[in-house]
Structure 1
Amino acid sequence: MTNLTTIIMAAGKGTRMKSTRPKVLQPLAGKPLLQHVLTTAKKLGSQKNIIIYGFEGRQVKDAFANESIDWVEQAEQLGTGHAVQMALPVLPTDGKSLILSGDVPLIGVDTLEKLSNTDSRFAMLTINIANPFGLGRIVRKDGKVIAIVEEKDATDTQKQISEINSGVYCVDNAILHNYLKNLNNNNAQGEYYLTDIVKMAVDDGIEIATVSPTYQFEIEGVNDRIQLANLERTWQAHQAENLMKQGVHIIDPSRFDLRGTLTVGRDVEIDINVIIEGDCTFGDNVKIGAGCVIKNSHIASGTVVQPYSLFDNAVVGEQNQIGTFSRLRPNAVTAKDVHIGNFVELKNTQMADGAKANHLAYLGDSTVGERTNIGAGTITANYDGVNKFKTTIGNDVSVGSNVVLVAPVTLGDKVTVGAGSTITKDVAEDKLVVARGRQTVIDGWVRPVKEKK
């Protein structure tokens, strides 16, 4: 909707976290709790995002320094009503505001769209749950909301109500400007409660609309490490379920972590303890072995990634064989039918169709031609302590084991490099090059032995 403001309460310390970091900076699915809420607000098209900060506010502001945010300080934490009061000086007088909490990270875009698009000037998110103990109950008369009653104030009859208040609202800004200034703290806690504006609206004859979330976890907050861990597993199970509905074969959803987004083709298979971070794409028939960590990478169809491989900003072509224990660092790019084997590392290296590096190699700042084979133990020495240099290897090259290619250096097509060589100069195509000391046997040499005491 147009003229939508989002107010996010993020001032709490989170004492039960036992942390030097504010609660809203604790991570869930690889991102701070507050980042989840802010990302959702931006997806809604919120024109103005107000964040109310408090404990360790500098940490919070620094973490979101690149975002367009109106920061408002709540120096003293005197309740939810007091928090939103702090936003009044920067709150527009027209339009509506969504009021969210920075420690309730998984509220869905669809849910908030329904909430913000009601015809009412005052809407709130409620849900029926099996065990509402400790939560504010929604009291209705003739189907209309007339009050929110907290657990400690509820009668026995009211305690049987299963509909609870989530603490998420969408309210006309004019109402907020009018009601928030009239809040008082005449209660046992000495705090200003946001829920009091519900009673004010009812007294003024404003009908309150209610919307329910699709999933209960959307309104679950985080107060300690146990709740954080439980919500993490709930969210991961939800993401795994969505992927399985798309046809992904996840071997064990309880041992799967998606900390970003994953776009998949058909018949993708993901083994246990795989972690996927950032934005990733897997093509048809991709298989990911156990224990892999894949970040911001794209893997084309038919590729098999063996266990315990690490990808970071890599682009992998079709029908590749990768791993085990391989590492593809930023700007590692492989074409079709490439083999990257055990304990092989690529950094800023491009490998053409059919190229292979199957064992114990490091290729940095390199290009490797078609059908070229890199022997075990081979490295490109790309760094002189100050600058990085490039190694260029042509097509159909055979590089023996334990070779050092000292960049900058170029090997032409069909070059053969003898095992154990250190290559410092360019080699023309079709040549055999050997650069190593001649084997010598030293007659009369005796290995030292320890003297017996």
Structure 2
Amino acid sequence: MTNRYAVILAAGQGTRMKSKLYKVLHPVAGRAMVQHVIDQLNTVKLDKMVTIVGFGAEKVKDQIGQASEFVVQDEQLGTGHAVLQSEALLKDKEGTTIVACGDTPLIKGETYQALFNHHEESGAGTTILTAKTDNPAGYGRVLRNETNEVERIVEHKDASEGELLVNEINTGTYCFDNQALFAALQEVSNDNVQGEYYLPDVIEIMRNQGKKVSAFLTPDFEETLGVNDRVALAEAEKTMKKRINEKHMRNGVAIIDPDHTYIEPDVVIESDVIIHPGTIIKGTTIIKTNAEIGPNSEISNCSIGEATIVKQSVANDSKIGDRVKIGPFAHIRPDSTIGHDAKLGNFVEIKKTELGDNSKVSHLSYIGDAEVGSNVNIGCGTITVNYDGTNKFLTTIEDDAFIGCNSNLIAPVKIGRGSYVAAGSTITENVPEEALSVARARQTNKEGYVTNLKNRKRD
């Protein structure tokens, strides 16, 4: 099999984004654009990947990590100059090199694979990934001769009026015979409007050398979208969202309103899950079968069990068991574990807490830094008072305990198995098993108080 290499162009600042964030690091569906390119190229067997970095080089390297080698382009003198920076790593290698742009996050791995295959089967010196569009403004035009062979590519700014009418565009992605590529790059000049070294000039150079120039026309122009500004970024986001949602629906997930449902690419959802409108699911979330999420819920990096219902709630970095009922308006903060058949009702906040099987926090409570056993009932208005202004402390509530409404559990404190805490209590000491703890002032009724008060006001 032919050796395969990749060069990713990721050196540009992206001034049209009008952002302090370097262009290729702008997220699409929660993932940096250049990371999408890396991930899709990794589905094709590559012998080496080289990323050309410039502006924000260290941040781009941090994003990509060990997936690629890197070369710095100190001056941005055009795409041809950028590829030439990888010469020391690739010049003498035999095989096929793909050049891809770090701002084309929508190209699929299948398309990269098809481009490689077409190039290698055709015996071409270079193969261009092209697409057709009704609005080619801004794109380089692919110019063909009378026998439909590719002659050259002309940049939009350098095109004549007749050339501007061509609707087949250069997507900026190519396959090259590797050694022929670096030989041709030595002949590229900067005699053009921009004074830059254009990679597409390699096409004409190779053709003049008698090498075959081929084009692989992808039927999906939308896939080849290059992101240069915020408008294009939003278009890429919309396309990626549609692609992800359609994948889940074809796998048996019921997304009631795909246009108003946002799911990031690493999310795993089993069949027969129902997703209601306004739902956002992010990170490495896993949702098991028959769960129901939404409407208007946000889930991030959570594991959600079978037949669990999450309504109008937020959950982050937590594990939620089977048949759990959450919401509406509950907030599950990081490092929480919710057992099977539990319930978190409206306006309940839970943080860094283990809640056992069949336990219930039905409404209007804050449970933080706590270990709660199974079959525990926590009444409304209950608070684990876990913070003294400097340190956080643990509250332990053992199995079968019953916590009355409006109780304050001052941590560190332990509520014993099967015990009761009376409503309105402020608990500062451990409660033994199966005890009743009452920690509130004795009620005093002062009869006639209001009548006397009214009489004093009249006087």
TM-score, L = length of structure 1: 0.89
Paired AA for residue 289 in structure 1:
G
* Equivalent residue number for residue 383 of structure 1: 387
Name the SS of the counterpart of 1:193 in structure 2.
coil
Cα offset, 1:83, TM superposition: 1.4
CA distance in 1, matches of 2:91, 2:436: 76
Cα distance in structure 1, aligned partners of 2:333 and 2:46: 36
Q: Equivalences for 1:212-361 in 2 at 5 Å?
A: 212-213=217-218, 215-307=220-312, 309-361=313-365
User: Aligned partners of 1:394 and 1:212: how far apart in 2?
Assistant: 66
1:173 alignment partner in structure 2? 178
2:153 aligned counterpart, secondary structure: strand
Q: CA deviation at 1:411?
A: 2.1
CA distance in 1, matches of 2:64, 2:237: 26
- TM superposition shift of 1:296: 1.1
1:36 aligns with 2:40: no
Opposite residue 261 of structure 1, the aligned amino acid is: D
- Separation (CA, whole Å) in 2 of partners of 1:311 and 1:171: 48
Change in Cα spacing, 1:110 to 1:426, as seen in structure 2 (3 Å) is same
1:108–1:138: structure 2 CA closer, same or farther, 3 Å change rule?
Answer: farther
Question: Please, which moves more after superposition, 114-123 or 19-28?
Answer: 114-123
Q: Which amino acid letter does the alignment assign opposite residue 377 of structure 1?
A: G
* Percent identity between the two aligned chains: 40
| Range with bigger deviation, 379-388 or 394-403 | 379-388
* 1:279–1:142 Cα change, 3 Å: same
Q: Distance in 2 between matches of 1:280 and 1:227?
A: 28
Alpha-carbon distance between aligned partners in 2 of 1:25 and 1:313, rounded to the nearest angstrom: 24
Structure 1 residue corresponding to 2:152, chosen from 142, 147, 154: 147
Using a 3 Å threshold, how does the CA distance of structure 1 residues 92 and 298 change in structure 2: closer, same or farther?
Answer: farther
Q: Give the Cα–Cα distance (whole angstroms) in 2 for the partners of residues 67 and 378 of structure 1.
A: 48
C-alpha separation in 2, matches of 1:299 and 1:84: 45
1:188 aligned partner, one-letter code: V
Contact 1:111 1:212 in 2 (8 A): no
Match of 1:76? 75
- CA–CA distance in structure 2, aligned partners of residues 86 and 243 of structure 1: 41
Q: Deviations over 1:172-201 (max 9, x none)?
A: 321222111221112222211101111122
Return closer, same or farther for 1:140/1:166 CA change in 2, 3 Å cut-off.
farther
How many Å separate the matches in 1 of 2:386 and 2:219? 54
Q: Cα 1:65–1:122, aligned 2, differ >3 Å: closer, same or farther?
A: closer
Aligned AA for 2:70? W
Aligned mate of 2:197, from 192, 196, 212: 192
Partner of 1:413: 417
Contact kept in structure 1, 2:131 and 2:219, CA below 8 Å: no
Contact 1:301 1:317 in 2 (8 A): yes
| Letter of the structure 1 residue corresponding to residue 199 of structure 2 | L
**One-letter identity of the residue aligned with 1:243:** H
In structure 2, relative to structure 1, the CA distance for the partners of 1:75 and 1:404 (3 Å cut) is same
Q: What's the counterpart of residue 27 of structure 1?
A: 27
Q: Is the 8 A contact 1:138 1:165 kept in 2?
A: no
Residues 301, 317 of structure 2: 8 Å contact kept? yes
Name the aligned partner's letter for residue 50 of structure 1. Answer: V
Aligned-residue CA RMSD in angstroms? 2.8
Residues 187, 205 of structure 2: 8 Å contact kept: no
- Against the structure 1 CA distance between its residues 355 and 138, is the aligned structure 2 distance closer, same or farther, given a 3 Å change threshold? farther
> What CA deviation, in whole Å up to 9, does each residue of 1:292-314 have, x standing for no partner?
1111112122111111x111112
Paired AA for residue 168 in structure 1: T
233-242 or 292-301, larger mean C-alpha shift = 233-242
- Return the letter of the residue paired with 1:256: T
Partner of 1:206: 211
Q: After TM superposition, give the deviation of residue 374 of structure 1 in Å.
A: 0.7
Q: Give the aligned partner of residue 5 of structure 1.
A: 5
Q: Which SS does the other structure have where 2:180 is aligned?
A: helix
8 A contact 1:269–1:288 mirrored in 2:
yes
Cα deviations by residue, 1:352-402 (Å, 9 ceiling, x for unpaired): 221100112122232222221111111222334444333222222110112
Amino acid at match of 1:335: G
SS of the residue aligned with 2:42?
A: helix
Counterpart-to-counterpart distance in 2, 1:318 and 1:302:
6
Scaled by the length of structure 2, the TM-score of the pair is 0.88
Task: Give the conservation status (yes or no) of the 8 Å contact 2:106–2:236.
Answer: no
CA distance in 2, matches of 1:385, 1:216: 57
Change (3 A) 1:157 1:21: closer
Q: Aligned pair 1:426/2:448, yes or no?
A: no
Deviation at 1:138, TM superposition (A): 4.3
> Is contact 2:152–2:201 with CA below 8 Å preserved after alignment?
no
CA contact (8 A) 1:412 1:427 kept: yes
Aligned residue in 2 for 1:399: 403
Paired with 2:44 and 2:424, the residues of 1 have a C-alpha distance of: 60
Structure 1 residue 28: Cα displacement: 1.7
Q: Between Structure 1 and Structure 2, how many residues are aligned?
A: 447
SS in 2 for 1:405: strand
Q: Which moved more, 1:260-269 or 1:358-367?
A: 260-269
C-alpha distance in structure 1 between counterparts of 2:127 and 2:7, whole Å: 15
**Residues 140, 147 of structure 1: 8 Å contact kept:** no
Q: Is the 8 A contact 1:21 1:59 kept in 2?
A: no
> Which has the larger displacement, 368-377 or 403-412?
403-412
Query: Paired residue for 2:111?
Result: 111
Moved more, 153-162 or 257-266: 153-162
1:51 maps to which residue? Answer: 51
After superposition, give the CA deviation of every residue in 1:136-176 in whole Å (9 maximum; x if it has no partner). 12415545433324456667776665432211012232122
DSSP-derived class of the 1:261 partner:
coil
Tell me, which stretches of 5 or more residues in structure 1 are unaligned?
none
Q: How much has 1:14 moved relative to structure 2? A: 2.0
Distance in 2 separating the partners of 1:47 and 1:108: 19
